[in-house]
A and B are shown apart, each in its own frame.
Chain A
Amino acid sequence: MDAVALKNISKAYSGNKAVDDVSFKVNQGELFGLIGPDGAGKTSIFRMLTTLLVPDAGTASVMGFDIVKDYKKIRSGIGYMPEHFALYPDLTVAENLNFFAAIFNTRIRENYHLVKDIYAQIQPFKNRRAGRLSGGMKQKLTLCCALIHKPSILFLDEPTTGVDPVSRKEFWEMLQRLKAQQITTLVSTPHMDEASQCDRIAWLQSGKILSIDTPSDVTAAYEDPIYAVKADNMYRLLQVLKNAPGVKDNYTFGEFAHLIFNKEKPETEAFIDFLKEKGLSGIELKRVKATLEDGFIKRLKTVI
């Protein structure tokens, strides 16, 4: 049985099609990523799968139950983390956790093993009001509350937005451990380094699914060779690259800029000379492996 299955799901808000004929399946125990720009329809899909919204068209099932007819059965078996913090800010960490355990007819003790690692990190703050926690801590607490009733599927809508890199890393380590516990997880994220940790990724744009791949598929399928280039004055370099001959595409990429040449085997030496002529110094040019982010940018650019 598929953990999650969508067939021709559509949803529109005041004439705008937010989700357009979306179909995909998620296997049990999979860590499945939903990637796409803002407004792509990720949150709408989450809300439909968690039975908070009804689709205009199409059918979907979660744990084998229909999202419209059997919503009650679905609701007791899933955990959900919405995009914005949705716990009680005026209750303490411990009170929030106890509350969510209680309304799901369970006690913290019963499923403590699931949340132990995560809870250990927020335990020092257990008497602090949830509203006063930092972003990273809030996310950890929310995850605990979502897990406390031992759901079989987790839906996480951009759980690491606005969270510092250290907490982000820790959060994803927790997700990996949950995977080991056979909990299926659907997660959306704008961070490519997180997406690369998923088993499979669905690319979403303007409400449509562009493709579903594994991260290695994406990088393996990236046709053009990518070069990374650096100079002392990056801004000037970027200006030059805009009109540089033989360059198919370029974009910033942290310390370097990524270049795609028209030719498959470009003349790199000549290019470096060209850059030097333009007054750039400290030039470094090397071939690099395509990453998920390169793949994503390519897709974003082609659709625009």
Chain B
Amino acid sequence: MTEEHVIKTDKLTKRFGDFTAIHAITFKVNKGEIFGFLGANGAGKTTAVRMLCGLSRPTSGNAEVVGCDVYKQPEEIKKNIGYMSQKFSLYEDLTVLENIRFFGGIYGLCSARIKSKTNELIEQLGLQNEVKKLVASLPLGWKQKLAFSVAIIHNPKIVFLDEPTSGVDPLMRRQFWELIYEAANDEITVFVTTHYMDEAEYCDRLSIMVDGRIEALDTPRNLKERFGVTTLDELFYQLAREAKRGG
């Protein structure tokens, strides 16, 4: 099942009682794209990501992820995506090897494949000396890189990353983004949220959410031209400053 659009939403809405967290957002994400999903805290990013991952049921509107309907086929969606968030990525009290093997098993890879993937990952990340160490002992940057690699171990069509480089130093962040570039090159679509505006520049297209609505969606270059700014920082500032949901 090949879909040109890995994500397709049409007036997707989520309400919690009186409060409308997401208001009729409509957008599409292409295969192999690096799609940046920006917005201030409280703008609705996490809620939107949850709906797209099949973790939360929308109130109204439509959405299709990897060709599956979010209402009718959330389990199918979960099987075909990867996910990595700030809060959780790997088990701290398991070793590097154990984590890779565990997630390989969870995603349904056969033993031979797990083995080959394990070697590939360790080689790629240079973790040969850390294989038997508990993940808790790794520095943050290494953890995040490993977490990302594990999130795509089953070659999903799309991987959702929630602020993956928060708190990581500039050099490590660049190394992390190299991994993202490689994934995108392998036709894995990357849906990423971030607060680092320089990282937003690496994205093919960006959307900026303010108070539950998408206020801007285009390539970084077009956005800068349209709003007459030189950096995305200024762009974000212009759009988000007027947000009412600051609290």
Residues on A lying within 8 angstroms of B by beta carbon are 36-39, 121-122, 124-125, 128, 133-137, 158, 161-169, 190, 192-193, 234-235, 238, 251-255, 293, 296-297, 300-301, 304
Question: 5 nearest interchain CB pairs?
Answer: A37-B169, A134-B41, A254-B198, A254-B201, A164-B40
Q: List 17 A-B contacts (CB under 8 A).
A: A37-B141, A133-B247, A134-B41, A136-B40, A158-B167, A162-B166, A163-B41, A164-B39, A165-B197, A190-B167, A238-B178, A238-B181, A252-B178, A254-B198, A255-B201, A255-B220, A300-B169
Contact A234 B202 (CB under 8 A): yes
- The B interface is mostly helix, strand or loop, or mixed, namely helix
Contact B166 A235 (CB under 8 A): no
Interface residues on B, range: 35 or more
Given A37-B141, A135-B41, A137-B246, A165-B171 contact (CB < 8 Å): no
User: Most A CB atoms within 10 A — which of B42, B170, B172, B178?
Assistant: B170
Residues on B lying within 8 angstroms of A by beta carbon are 39-42, 86, 139-141, 163, 166-172, 174, 177-178, 181, 184-185, 195, 197-199, 201-202, 220-221, 232-233, 236-237, 240-241, 243, 246-247
User: Most A CB atoms within 10 A — which of B167, B177, B184?
Assistant: B167
Q: Give Cα distance in the complex from A193 to B233, angstroms.
A: 11
User: Most A CB atoms within 10 A — which of B195, B199, B221, B240?
Assistant: B195
Residues of B near A192 (CB, < 8 A) are: 170
Q: Give Cα distance in the complex from A47 to B15, angstroms.
A: 43
Residues of B near A137 (CB, < 8 A) are: 246-247
Contact B201 A190 (CB under 8 A): no
Contact B172 A37 (CB under 8 A): yes
Residues of A near B236 (CB, < 8 A) are: 164-166
**CB contact between B247 and one of A125, A161, A168, A251 (< 8 Å): that residue:** A125
Closest Cβ neighbor of B42 among chain A residues? A134
Contact A38 B141 (CB under 8 A): yes
Residues of B near A251 (CB, < 8 A) are: 174
Contact B247 A190 (CB under 8 A): no
Q: Give Cα distance in the complex from A121 to B172, angstroms.
A: 34
Given A38-B167, A235-B181, A165-B42 contact (CB < 8 Å): no
Contact A297 B170 (CB under 8 A): yes
Rounded to whole Å, the gap between the CB of B245 and the closest CB of chain A is: 8
- Interface contacts beyond A37-B172, A164-B240: sample of 14 additional A-B pairs, CB < 8 Å, sorted by A: A37-B169, A39-B139, A136-B41, A161-B166, A162-B163, A163-B41, A164-B40, A164-B41, A166-B40, A167-B41, A235-B181, A252-B174, A253-B198, A255-B201
**CB contact between B195 and one of A165, A234, A253 (< 8 Å): that residue:** A165
Given A162-B166, A190-B169, A38-B139 contact (CB < 8 Å): yes
Q: Give Cα distance in the complex from A169 to B41, angstroms.
A: 14
Q: Give Cα distance in the complex from A238 to B243, angstroms.
A: 37
Rounded to whole Å, the gap between the CB of B17 and the closest CB of chain A is: 15
Rounded to whole Å, the gap between the CB of B37 and the closest CB of chain A is: 13
Rounded to whole Å, the gap between the CB of A189 and the closest CB of chain B is: 10
**CB contact between B171 and one of A37, A158, A164 (< 8 Å): that residue:** A37
Given A135-B41, A136-B40, A252-B177, A162-B170 contact (CB < 8 Å): no
Residues of B near A238 (CB, < 8 A) are: 178, 181
Residues of B near A161 (CB, < 8 A) are: 166-167
Rounded to whole Å, the gap between the CB of A138 and the closest CB of chain B is: 9
Residues of B near A122 (CB, < 8 A) are: 247
Rounded to whole Å, the gap between the CB of B210 and the closest CB of chain A is: 10
Residues of A near B184 (CB, < 8 A) are: 235
Residues of A near B202 (CB, < 8 A) are: 234, 252, 254
Rounded to whole Å, the gap between the CB of B44 and the closest CB of chain A is: 12
User: Most B CB atoms within 10 A — which of A39, A158, A255, A304?
Assistant: A255
Closest Cβ neighbor of A166 among chain B residues? B240
Contact A136 B86 (CB under 8 A): no
Q: Give Cα distance in the complex from A284 to B147, angstroms.
A: 35
Residues of A near B42 (CB, < 8 A) are: 134
Contact B41 A190 (CB under 8 A): no
Contact A162 B246 (CB under 8 A): no
Q: Give Cα distance in the complex from A251 to B181, angstroms.
A: 13
Residues of B near A162 (CB, < 8 A) are: 86, 163, 166-167, 195
Contact A190 B168 (CB under 8 A): yes
